[in-house]
Amino acid sequence: MTDHKQAVPAPFIVPGPSLGEGSPPITLGVMGGGQLARMFVHAAQQMGYATAVLDADAASPAGLVAHHHIRTGYLDAAGLAQLAQCSAAITTEFENVPAAALATLALQRPVSPAAEAVAVCQDRAAEKAHFARSGVPCAPYACIETDAQLAAVDAALLPGILKTTRLGYDGKGQARVADRAALALAWAALGRVPCVLEQMLPLACEISVIVARGASAKSVHLPVQQNLHRAGVLTTTTVPAPDVPAEVQQRAIASAHAIAATLNYVGVLCVEFFVLEGGVLVANEMAPRPHNSGHYSIDACDVSQFDLQVRAMTGAPLVAPRLHSPCVMLNLMGDLWSESGHAPDWAGVLALPGAHLHLYGKASARPGRKMGHLTVTAASAEQAGAVARQAAAVLGIGAW
Ligand code: ATP
Ligand code: MG
């Protein structure tokens, strides 16, 4: 049992023209205007919905392609009122949208995922407690908010990774610590904000599972993705996961569904897992939205994670996605521009078989900024990997 509100099945918000003369098109709203919202907008528009994006940035990737761009902060009362007024249903692309903003919107419109579920994902300690509630193990950890807790840290957690409880992403807000002295220094460097210290685990590999759950409690999933990170940032995703036995994949899928069900979740949820030697599975973290590791689904599945987001929020039927092409997804970071000083060799990339280029429309490239991704589809994951390596060589991305 949980203390989260029971989701109420909503009637399907039907896309397409309404019958009445002059009535406005059915619009779907999204909080946040980054690349995830942009790909959501594309999926919603493909299905005939109009779209509204709330993001303060005039050049936000999703704001540029949506029907309505509301340029305010997430807590701006007038902006929220405008979004609620024009949208039939609202979702989020970003877990750090203040839960209060989602709660305000939910007074007027169906909002998925719910503020309570997003709040759990905003806080690593709450997230780990939720994994435990769902019967899914996570890495051994301790919460550090006081000097007393720092001093009391169990030696078994070292070496470990210190992570800020809130607002971390792409490996930011984290420090690897070898011993107590390093831990104390790292906590000071992170500004003594609330943190969790996790034991450093020997990873055989990393995977993630994306589930979509509707208000009717039906849930479906994408195939298991195998993810390679460099310096805490996702570098490649390969599907089907080449190094993970089917039985481990089934356990990961069941765990992801359990985590969503225990939250009474409505929407798309991504759960990241560590796979340890012997097939031991440990939940790392979750995101209450589509995820970078699911971008491949646009080109390699018959239903993408963004299609699922649209379907879950509108009460449309959820059908299980099918992977029609094995694939490798490669993230395209701002470093590709800055290091070379000129545009990457897109012609060279597009000459490769099965290459699907996605650029997010960001005006300037900075090192570490996610500018786009490339999905290579092929007859097998090995072939997709071989072509992805060719693409990496063309672009000057280091081999993996
Ligand atoms: P993102 O939100 O971009 O997924 P993040 O900044 O929230 O990332 P985590 O997912 O917590 O960070 O960690 C980033 C990466 O660091 C992991 O994918 C993994 O490669 C490594 N890592 C994190 N925690 C551990 C751990 N306890 N043991 C071993 N490796 C870890
Ligand atoms: Mg992560």
Residue ranges of domains in the chain: 27-121, 140-199, 203-395
- Chain centroid to Cα 191, Å, comes to 26
Residue located nearest, by CA, to atom 16 of ligand 1:
232
Q: Which ligand is nearest to the CA of 170?
A: 1
Mean pLDDT across 338-364: 91
Return the ligand 1 atom nearest residue 172 CA: 6
CATH topology for 140-199 is Dna Ligase; domain 1 (3.30.1490)
Tell me, what's the pLDDT at 38?
A: 98
Using the structure block, give the residue that is written with the tokens 């007859």.
Answer: 379
CA gap 251, 233 in Å, rounded: 25
CA gap 16, 30 in Å, rounded: 19
Spacing, Cα 329 to ligand 1 middle (Å): 19
**Partners of residue 21 on adjacent β-strands:** none
Tell me, what's the pLDDT at 173?
A: 87
Nearest to 275 by CA among 260, 255, 261: 255
Q: Which of 95, 121, 128, 284, when mutated, tests ligand 1's pocket best, judged by the most ligand atoms within 8 Å of its CB?
A: 284
Query: Residue 2: which pLDDT band, with cuts at 50, 70 and 90?
Result: very low
* The two three-digit tokens of residue 44, written as one number: 């919603």
Spacing, Cα 351 to ligand 2 middle (Å): 32
Mean pLDDT across 367-374: 95
CATH topology for 27-121 is Rossmann fold (3.40.50)
Residue located nearest, by CA, to atom 24 of ligand 1:
161
Return the ligand 1 atom nearest residue 200 CA: 28
Question: Which ranges of the chain would DSSP assign to H, the alpha helix?
Answer: 35-46, 77-86, 99-106, 115-121, 124-133, 147-151, 180-189, 246-262, 297-300, 305-314, 335-338, 346-350, 381-395
Q: What is the pLDDT of residues 91-119, one digit of tens each?
A: 999 988 998 999 999 999 999 999 999 99
Return the ligand 1 atom nearest residue 202 CA: 29
Contact in structure between 197 and 155 (CB atoms under 8 Å):
no
Mean pLDDT across 291-320: 97
Return the ligand 1 atom nearest residue 198 CA: 27
Mean pLDDT across 207-215: 97
The domain defined by 203-395 carries CATH number 3.40.50.170 = no
List all residues 6 or more positions away from 197 whose beta carbon is below 8 Å from its beta carbon: 141, 142, 144, 153, 157, 160, 161, 162, 163, 177, 183
Spacing, Cα 95 to ligand 2 middle (Å): 13
Using the structure block, give the residue that is written with the tokens 């055989």.
Answer: 204
CA gap 194, 125 in Å, rounded: 10
Q: What is the pLDDT of residues 132-162, one digit of tens each?
A: 999 999 999 999 999 999 999 999 999 999 9
What does 308-341 look like in DSSP terms, one character per residue? HHHHHHHTPPP----B-S-EEEEEEETHHHHTTS
Tell me, what's the pLDDT at 1?
A: 37
Mean pLDDT across 25-34: 96
Tell me, what's the pLDDT at 105?
A: 97
Residue 5 has pLDDT above 70, yes or no: no
Cis amide prior to 240 (ω within 30 degrees): yes
Spacing, Cα 232 to ligand 2 middle (Å): 7
Q: What pTM does this model have?
A: 0.94
- Measuring CA to CA, how many Å separate 270 from each of 46, 160, 201, 302? 23, 24, 21, 18
Mean pLDDT across 281-306: 98
Return the ligand 1 atom nearest residue 203 CA: 29
What does 339-390 look like in DSSP terms, one character per residue? TTSS---HHHHHTSTTEEEEE---SS--TT-EEEEEEEE-SSHHHHHHHHHH
Tell me, what's the pLDDT at 4?
A: 47
Rounded to the nearest integer, the mean pLDDT of the chain is 94
- Chain centroid to Cα 296, Å, comes to 13
Residue 319 has pLDDT above 50, yes or no: yes
Spacing, Cα 291 to ligand 2 middle (Å): 10
**Partners of residue 169 on adjacent β-strands:** 172
Tell me, what's the pLDDT at 95?
A: 84
Task: Determine how β-strand 203-213 pairs with β-strand 327-333.
Answer: unpaired
Q: Which ligand is nearest to the CA of 138?
A: 1
Tell me, what's the pLDDT at 3?
A: 42
Return the ligand 1 atom nearest residue 170 CA: 3
- Measuring CA to CA, how many Å separate 355 from each of 137, 184, 332? 37, 47, 13
Q: Which of 229, 281, 295, when mutated, tests ligand 1's pocket best, judged by the most ligand atoms within 8 Å of its CB?
A: 229
Pocket of ligand 1 (CB under 6 A): 139, 161, 163, 168-172, 174, 198, 200-201, 203, 206, 229, 232, 272, 284-285
Range with top average pLDDT, 8-12, 75-79, 227-231, 396-400: 75-79
Nearest to 335 by CA among 327, 344, 347, 348: 344
DSSP state of 25: P
